[in-house]
């Protein structure tokens, strides 16, 4: 008799945790690049001021695509869009790491921004759809902490990486997180949506 509630309890906060990790990755990437701009500029033989385009293009991409994320989720399904967004963000991160010119980096950051724009709001929508109303406040705390923590740890993490390794690792560190996120979405969110029905 207790098996079903136990299963519900086990999966209840899987979605907020997964979405929280994705939110952390997105917010971390918004700030981690700032301290790496001089190193990237030297690598690309560019004026560091021009490298601000790498930040601006990312933020612009977020601003442009976030408004349509709700429609896309309704049209194609929140779970599928969220998983695809993580994949796009991860691919964008790889392209950023491989960029050898400013134009390539800006294009890759736009792709990253598109993935991030779909990832965060659609992830929140998944939480709203899968967590019972009685537990929603607790679940949303899993999203608040990474949203605050990501921008704070971004600059020191970026500084550490450019001091002891290549600036390209700033973007490559997203790859294992993204792969893990896709696996967790496939395993846990499908279980929540298909097997557990909350009143």
Domain boundaries, the chain: 17-194
pLDDT band at 5 (very low <50, low <70, confident <90, very high): very low
Q: What is the pTM of this model?
A: 0.85
pLDDT band at 92 (very low <50, low <70, confident <90, very high): very high
Which residues, including other chains, have CB under 8 Å from residue 34's CB and lie 6 or more apart?
55, 154, 155, 158
Q: Give the single-character DSSP code of 101.
A: S
Q: What is the pLDDT of residue 190?
A: 62
Q: pLDDT tens-digit profile of 101-151?
A: 999 999 999 999 999 999 888 888 888 887 777 777 777 777 778 778 888
- Domain 17-194 fold is Growth Hormone; Chain: A; (1.20.1250)
Q: What is the pLDDT of residue 198?
A: 39
Q: What is the pLDDT of residue 6?
A: 43
Q: What is the pLDDT of residue 102?
A: 93
Please give the structure tokens belonging to residue 194.
Answer: 């298909």
Q: Give the single-character DSSP code of 34.
A: G
């Amino acid at each position: 008799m207790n098996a079903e509630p136990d299963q519900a309890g086990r999966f209840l906060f899987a979605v907020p945790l997964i979405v929280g990790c994705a939110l952390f990755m997105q917010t971390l990437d918004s700030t981690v690049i700032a301290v790496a701009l001089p190193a990237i500029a030297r690598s690309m033989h560019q004026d560091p001021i021009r490298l601000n385009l790498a930040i601006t293009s990312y933020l612009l991409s977020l601003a442009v695509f976030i408004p349509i994320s709700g429609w896309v989720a309704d049209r194609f399904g929140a779970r599928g869009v969220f998983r695809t967004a993580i994949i796009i963000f991860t691919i964008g991160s790889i392209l950023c790491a491989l960029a050898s010119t400013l134009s390539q980096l800006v294009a890759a950051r736009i792709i990253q921004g598109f993935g991030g724009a779909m990832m965060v709001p659609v992830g929140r929508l998944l939480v709203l759809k899968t967590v019972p109303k009685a537990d929603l406040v607790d679940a949303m705390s899993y999203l608040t902490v990474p949203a605050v923590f990501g921008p704070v740890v971004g600059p020191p993490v970026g500084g550490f990486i450019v001091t002891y390794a290549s600036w390209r690792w700033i973007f490559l560190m997203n790859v294992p997180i993204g792969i893990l996120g896709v696996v967790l979405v496939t395993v846990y969110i499908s279980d929540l949506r298909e097997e557990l029905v909350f009143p």
